Amino acid sequence: MKSGRTEIRVSALHKSFGDNHVLRGIDLEIGQGEVVCVIGPSGSGKSTLLRCVNLLEEPSGGEVHVGGAELTDPDVDIDAVRRRIGMVFQQFNLFPHLTVTENLTLPQRRVLRRGKAEAARVAAENLRRVGLAEKADAYPSSLSGGQQQRVAIARALAMGPEVMLFDEPTSALDPELVGDVLAVMRMLADEGMTMMVVTHEMTFAREVADRVVFMDGGVVVEDGTPEEVIGRPRHERTRHFLSRLLDPAMADVEEETSDQVGKEP
Amino acid sequence: MTDTEKLPVQPKRKGLTRRQKRSLSRGIQYAVFVAAVIAFAVSADWGRLRNQFAQVDIAERMFPDVITLALKNTVLFTVTGFAVGLALGMVIALMRLSSVGPYRWLAGIYIEIFRGLPALLIFIFIGVAVPLAFPGTEIIGGTYGKVALALGLVAAAYMAETIRAGIQAVPKGQMEAARSLGFSPARAMVSVIIPQAFRIILPPLTNELVLLFKDSSLVLFLGVTLGERELSKYGRDLASQTANSTPILVAGLCYLLITIPLGFVVRRMEAKAQEAVK
């Protein structure tokens, strides 16, 4: 941890969708300024964990604290807490009926009640940060996936968040567009933003993350520095996952294993 | 024997090929259609029809009142009814999508009742039952208010279902993105979801406007003064005065004067929406 203060604290978190027990007791702490990458096979619950951190999914049990506020408290002002948490989605989720600038100004005006001029200034500043100042008046549909994702990051940043959550931000992108988005995320990390990133980009995890968390079957299997988790994984499950991820062409056909989520009640 | 002679030969067809059959069947369809049109044209008594429906001097006498009074009232009834229907339909659609059970049930009951009843019965209900139930109260705007209310009540049921479908057609990620930016559910609905939903439902809503335009003729069941007559009533009144049906034809043409351009607009919007999806 870079500093003493804990920004995100998840304790004994459980989440079920009907009979499907997706999260089975997650404990995780992320300090201020820390960059944590969450990796794991699909269905391991890593996206669900991320979505529980800003309560897009309602946890079935356990507690989530962000910046001192308990999100799992039934009386919490969730909209107020969410203003401090930026979220970036796999599918970008820009507002298609608004221009790039309007995408950035509408939330500032409606949620933060900023004035027109200030919202426009903050929008322009953040578009410049992600390198898209010249696209200010374009509509999202005319942008490439990588540009849309950078606008989505700028939109979240314009709200002045203390924490940024990334849900597989590069998974929907063509391979040649991934680099631009990762560069913006790296810049944020260098600026000291607290980040929780669900990703399959191992190079990013190895170079930018302070910690890597490997999840499988709804639990945290390994948690440590990138050198520990990616370089010298202690668990067989981690090794197995990494070998398939780093060299998918060499994988064998295998039986479905029982510890995959959704197989047991 | 060479190699080519050994290749499997296409089986010999008996009779027509598929293409020939298709053009033959198309030819028969055209022939039947042309024969039907000719039979109709020859057998109808055009002289009597023209006498009854196309008396130019009677048609001339209808102007300008048919436009300045009748068509104006029809448009006025339609637009006010549409406005009431849209506002009420929006409320019902949101109730239908609410997480609160009783709201959903109420909206469902409303939609089932007002979609299932003929508009005519609603007009009679507004005209007779409401004054009986609340004696001494007047619906604001007199006949105009009553028509707006009756048309609006019927239209709201249809529009609520259209609006609901439009809201549900907006991808779930839009609400999630808005909520994660700190929008409250209501504010996200107003600022992000509904503007997108309306783009989707603009064509069906315009269709609803065309339907209302025609339903506005039911106002004659409320009893109207001379100045409140709309196209159908005006046409019928004049027809009985002159003992000739020409006013009916003219009134009909006036309806088409509005509905056909509206139909063009709807098709244009549908094509545009299609393009936007691509």
**What does the pLDDT read at residue A257?**
53
One-letter identity of residue B103: Y
Q: Which CA distances in Å does A162 have to A31, A34, A105, A110? A: 11, 11, 19, 19
B176 CB neighbours in chain A (<8 A) are 56, 89, 93
ipTM of the complex: 0.89
Q: Which of B66-80, B137-151, B191-205 has the lowest mean pLDDT?
A: B137-151
Residue with tokens 């949101």: B94
The pair of three-digit structure tokens given for residue B25, joined into one six-digit string: 């069947």
For A83, the closest chain B residue by CA position comes to B182
CA pair distance A6, A2, nearest whole angstrom = 10
* Residue A89: band (very low, low, confident or very high) from pLDDT cuts 50, 70, 90: very high
For B180, the closest chain A residue by CA position comes to A82
Mean pLDDT of the region A85-105:
95
For A106, the closest chain B residue by CA position comes to B191
Q: Can you spell out the DSSP letters for chain B? A: --HHHHSPPPPPPPS--HHHHHHHHHHHHHHHHHHHHHHHHHHS-HHHHHHHH--HHHHHHHTTHIIIIIIHHHHHHHHHHHHHHHHHHHHHHHHHT-SSHHHHHHHHHHHHHHHHS-HHHHHHIIIIIHHHHSTT---TTHHHHHHHHHHHHHHHHHHHHHHHHHHHHS-HHHHHHHHHTT--HHHHIIIIIHHHHHHHHHHHHHHHHHHHHHHGGGGGGG---GGG--HHHHHHHHHHHHTSSHHHHHHHHHHHHHHHHHHHHHHHHHHHHHHHH-
B183 CB neighbours in chain A (<8 A) are 79, 107, 110-111
**What does the pLDDT read at residue B258?**
87
Q: What is the pLDDT of residues A119-144, one digit of tens each?
A: 999 999 999 999 999 999 999 999 99
Are A241 and A216 a contacting pair, CB within 8 Å? yes
| A142-151, B2-11, B116-125, B266-275, range with greatest mean pLDDT | A142-151
**What does the pLDDT read at residue B113?**
93
Mean pLDDT of the region B143-161:
89
Q: What is the pLDDT of residues A165-189, one digit of tens each?
A: 999 999 999 988 999 999 999 999 9
Mean pLDDT of the region A197-213:
93
Are B83 and B151 a contacting pair, CB within 8 Å? no
DSSP for residue A235: S
CA pair distance B250, A115, nearest whole angstrom = 56
Are A61 and A14 a contacting pair, CB within 8 Å? yes
Pairwise pLDDT comparison (B215 vs A92), residue with the higher score? A92
| A15-29, B43-57, B240-254, range with greatest mean pLDDT | A15-29
The length of chain A is 265
- A111 to B199: CB separation less than 8 angstroms, yes or no: no
**What does the pLDDT read at residue A263?**
39
- Rounded to the nearest angstrom, the minimum Cα separation between B170 and chain A is 10
CA pair distance A230, A71, nearest whole angstrom = 31
**What does the pLDDT read at residue B147?**
86
For A105, the closest chain B residue by CA position comes to B181
CA pair distance B55, B59, nearest whole angstrom = 6
Mean pLDDT of the region B201-212:
88
Q: From the list B177, B184, B195, which residue is nearest A79 (CB)?
A: B184
Instruction: Decide: pTM greater than 0.90.
Output: no
| B53-57, B79-83, B201-205, range with greatest mean pLDDT | B79-83
Mean pLDDT of the region A235-242:
92
Identify the three-state secondary structure at position A123.
helix
For residue A212, what is the enclosing H or E element? strand A211-216
* Residue A23: band (very low, low, confident or very high) from pLDDT cuts 50, 70, 90: very high
Residue B220: pLDDT above 90?
Answer: no
Mean pLDDT of the region A241-253:
80
- A107 to B179: CB separation less than 8 angstroms, yes or no: no
Chain A interface, Cβ < 8 Å to B: 54, 56, 79-80, 82-83, 85-87, 89, 91, 93-97, 106-107, 110-112, 141, 152, 155-156, 159
Residue A4: pLDDT above 50?
Answer: yes
* Residue B127: band (very low, low, confident or very high) from pLDDT cuts 50, 70, 90: confident
Pairwise pLDDT comparison (B137 vs B120), residue with the higher score? B120
Q: Which CA distances in Å does A242 have to A39, A231, A239, B149? A: 10, 10, 5, 67
Chain B interface, Cβ < 8 Å to A: 171, 173-174, 176-184, 187, 191-192, 195-196, 199, 276
Mean pLDDT of chain B: 85
